[in-house]
Amino acid sequence: MKMSEIKNKLKKYNVDEIIFSKHVLIRCKQRNIDQKLIVDNIMNPGKMLEFQEFLSTNEHKYKLIFQISNARCLVVVITTNDHIEIITAWFSINKWERRIRSYDKG
């Protein structure tokens, strides 16, 4: 799937069709993540940097990465069927990501 396809797929859903799991509600409080920030980025995926798709038998699972600032990204794991269920979310610090990726290469 291409980036444009996932963006169009996300735009087809309404705000009412976004459901937060119990796990993500706990994690949002622990990590100081505003639920509105998650919903805004899913509904307007213009700041999406990349995504990963994980296929399972009855649902599509995606890891979405949104640019929040020059220093931080928001990572959100969702499943899609007839609605979007948000599984978990966290902030990623770009400096750490670059360092981790450099270690992976060699």
pLDDT, tens digit, for every residue of 1-28? 788 999 999 999 999 999 999 999 999 9
Predicted TM-score of the model (pTM): 0.85
DSSP 3-state of 22: helix
Work out the number of other CB atoms within 10 angstroms of the CB of residue 64. 24
The pLDDT, as a whole number, for residue 59 is 81
User: Would you give the end-to-end CA distance of the chain in angstroms?
Assistant: 28
Instruction: Give CA torsion, residues 3, 89, 87, 103, to 10 deg.
Output: 70
Q: Are 100 and 92 in contact (CB under 8 A)?
A: no
